[in-house]
């Protein structure tokens, strides 16, 4: 039985693809709820390529 547990993927640790899908579904659900109650939800903007040097 110990050998079977080692060879099968753990159900407690989802794959990165499954985590991404769950995160996207959660974000969509949160946005729908916010829309239903008229609440504005700040969105996280994707990082864009920026100059590595800091400007003063």
Residues 46, 49: Cα–Cα separation, whole Å? 10
Q: What is the pLDDT of residue 5?
A: 54
Under 8 Å CB-to-CB from 40, ≥6 apart: which residues? 34
Give pLDDT, residue 41: 77
pTM of whole model > 0.75?
no
Consecutive 10-residue averages of pLDDT for the chain (56 residues): 59 90 92 90 65 54
Compute the half-sphere exposure of residue 6: CA atoms within 13 Å on the CB side of its CA: 3
45 to each of 37, 48, 50, how far by Cα in Å?
A: 23, 9, 14
């Amino acid at each position: 039985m110990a050998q079977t547990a080692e060879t099968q993927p753990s159900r407690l640790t989802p794959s990165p693809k499954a985590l991404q899908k769950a995160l996207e579904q959660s974000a969509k659900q949160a946005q729908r709820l916010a829309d239903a109650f008229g609440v504005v939800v700040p969105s996280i903007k994707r990082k864009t390529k920026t100059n590595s040097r800091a400007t003063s």
